[in-house]
Amino acid sequence: MRALVYHGPGRKAWEDVPKPEIIDSTDAIVRVDATTICGTDLHILKGDLPDVPDGRILGHEAVGTVDAVGRGVSTVKVGDRVLVSCISVCGTCRFCRDGHSGQCLGGGGWILGYKIDGTQAEYVRVPFADTSTFSMPDGAADEDILMLADILPTAYEVGVLNGNVQPGDVVAIVGAGPIGLSAIMGARLFSPSHIVAIDLADTRLEAAKRFGADITVNNSREDPLEIVRSLTGGLGADVTIEAVGVPATFELAVKLSRPGGRIANIGVHGEPATLHLEEQWIRNITITTGLVDAYATTTLLRLVASHHVHPGLFVTHHFGLNEFDKAYDVFGRAAETGALKVVLSRSA
């Protein structure tokens, strides 16, 4: 089969590799019908995650058809159409039983396209298939459900729920990439009074408006602190969601918060960020961080079915599975191309 193989920073190739086989009895082999590229894949290609070895197949998001199952798989059958989550769930360890599978101790967690071969391939081995896949709802489009593999649960759990967005809140979201936009979509479910989206790229801010941001701020030209304070009687945002992953945006997120406010960090950080505890100790803020656990995926599937969440809004570009070079190029130049999520599918 063919797969997108990582060969060290800046190097990847769509090449022939052996088709994956069942290794553990709880595995399934899934034929990939549609997959996509995540900002985290770009981090890997930049060399930000040095523990990813040469030879790793990238990708941690897919929708596909089950091709084979191990003897220990009981609910997933050959021919089933499934969503493959970015988080694998052993289902039996302490963290999985508490709903914190991102921290799985039993060999799950974020492993696809990182610790084991991933989904940017014609076939993928999915460990713990019963607990790490979701059956595709009847009539749903592959590309809509694909958005539930990572970005929607990530922003909903780590941003919106950790930030405890409440009706009437002013919510400031720093970063309007796919994750920030998903946070807008998720926050709207709770009827905040204002969502303020902050980004350096006008293309992303235009997308933020389409996703339901009330106010957009280009922080290369405007001062987000002034705008958020003017909305809140000088206090600051009730909830601030950091969706970029650089020191400046974490520090901005803290500054934007009101006393007693909640700051939910989603960004993957590659270097230290400063927490000005000498200013913040007295302000009763709560800061949360997290890796997605995917415990909200079933909730989000219901919200897609009831048309409260519209994942189709993310999909800006379509490619065939053999067009990874083009797809990475378009996704990697998102500020110019307007790319949000690119979908690579068998049928494109």
Ligand X SMILES: NC(=O)c1ccc[n+]([C@@H]2O[C@H](COP(=O)([O-])OP(=O)(O)OC[C@H]3O[C@@H](n4cnc5c(N)ncnc54)[C@H](O)[C@@H]3O)[C@@H](O)[C@H]2O)c1
Task: Examine residue 93 and tell whether it contacts Zn ion (CB under 5 A).
Answer: yes
Q: CB 334 → ligand X: shortest distance, Å? A: 6
Closest CB to Zn ion among residues 49, 225: 49
Task: Examine residue 59 and tell whether it contacts ligand X (CB under 6 A).
Answer: no
Closest CB to Zn ion among residues 40, 182: 40
Single out the residue of 3, 83, 87, 96 in contact with Zn ion (rule: CB under 5 A). Answer: 96
- Among 270, 258, 199, smallest CA distance to 231 is for 258
In angstroms, how far apart are the furthest CA atoms of the chain? Answer: 62
Q: Report d(CA 119, CA 112) in Å as an integer.
A: 7
295 φ, ψ (degrees, to nearest 5): -70, -20
CB 19 within 8 A of CB 2: no
Q: Report d(CA 295, CA 131) in Å as an integer.
A: 11
Stretch that binds Zn ion, among 39-47, 168-176, 240-248, 284-292 (CB under 5 A): 39-47
Stretch that binds Zn ion, among 106-114, 176-184, 221-229, 257-265 (CB under 5 A): 106-114
Q: Report d(CA 157, CA 225) in Å as an integer.
A: 25
> What's 109's DSSP letter?
B
Q: CB 16 → ligand X: shortest distance, Å? A: 30
Task: Examine residue 180 and tell whether it contacts ligand X (CB under 6 A).
Answer: yes
Single out the residue of 264, 291, 304, 313 in contact with ligand X (rule: CB under 6 A). Answer: 291
Task: Examine residue 4 and tell whether it contacts ligand X (CB under 6 A).
Answer: no
Which residues inside 110-139 make contact with ligand X, applying CB under 6 A? none
> What's 57's DSSP letter?
B
- Element containing residue 206 per DSSP (H, E): helix 202-211
CB 305 within 8 A of CB 297: no
Could you list the residues that contact Zn ion (CB under 5 A)? 38, 40, 90, 93, 96, 104, 106, 108, 150
Could you list the residues that contact ligand X (CB under 6 A)? 39-40, 43, 150, 154, 158, 174-180, 198-201, 204, 219, 243-246, 248-249, 266-268, 290-292, 334
